Amino acid sequence: MANTVETMLAKQDIRDVLTNYARAVDRADAPLLKSCYHADAIEEHGNTYTGPAHAYADGAAERLMKLKHPMAHYVCNIHVDLDLEAGVAFVESYLLTFARFDKGQEPWDTLTGGRIVDRFECRDGEWKIAHRKMAFDWNRDMPVAEGWCLGLFKPEDPRVIMGTRGSADLSYQRF
């Protein structure tokens, strides 16, 4: 399919939803997360959740706010198979997820590579996820070895802004 203004705008709208999803998860922002899905959307999140996407969003945000360690989602390559006439797009997005969890008394880092495969639908002029499934490709768990660039950055320095969940994060501030 040739790129027209209409296809490029649709693809950009879809990419905006995908980046909003990553931001919403990392900031534990339930309203933003829900805005990525149609009200009747389905989320299939591996063995951890299958059901209504809005219920997933509420539960995920609540769980994420309780985590004491950082998490970051990175949306990478995005392939969009777009049918403008039908108002449907099948989208495969590569995803890298960094998370830190406690293993016993010690924090461990986990890096996971996978793909989110979405059926997007355009309803009332808005592209949103109608159905999502995940494919897990690889994972690496390792003990924490945090040195902040061999000591170049000092998190305890008040001038260093550390990311956080919720609306206190720098990304919600306007300066």
Average pLDDT over residues 93-113: 94
Average pLDDT over residues 52-68: 92
Q: What is the pLDDT of residue 81?
A: 97
* Cβ-proximal residues to 109 (8 Å cutoff; 6+ apart), any chain: 98, 99, 100, 141, 142, 143, 144, 145
Q: Which amino acid is at 44?
A: E
Q: What is the pLDDT of residue 44?
A: 97
Which of 29-43, 138-152, 160-174 has the highest mean predicted lDDT (pLDDT)?
29-43
CATH number of this structure's domain 5-145, picked from the four choices 3.40.50.700, 3.10.450.50, 3.40.50.720, 3.30.420.40: 3.10.450.50
Indicate whether 77 pLDDT > 80.
yes
- Full-model pTM: 0.91
Indicate whether 1 pLDDT > 80.
no
Average pLDDT over residues 37-53: 96
- CA proximity to 132, closest of 51, 28, 35: 51
Indicate whether 95 pLDDT > 90.
yes
Domain map (residue ranges) of the chain = 5-145
HSE-up of 113 (CA within 13 Å, CB side)?
5
Average pLDDT over residues 85-92: 97
Look at residue 53 and give its three-state secondary structure: helix
- CA proximity to 91, closest of 123, 57, 131: 131
Arithmetic mean of pLDDT over the chain: 94
Residue 171 CA, distance from chain mean position = 15
Average pLDDT over residues 114-120: 97
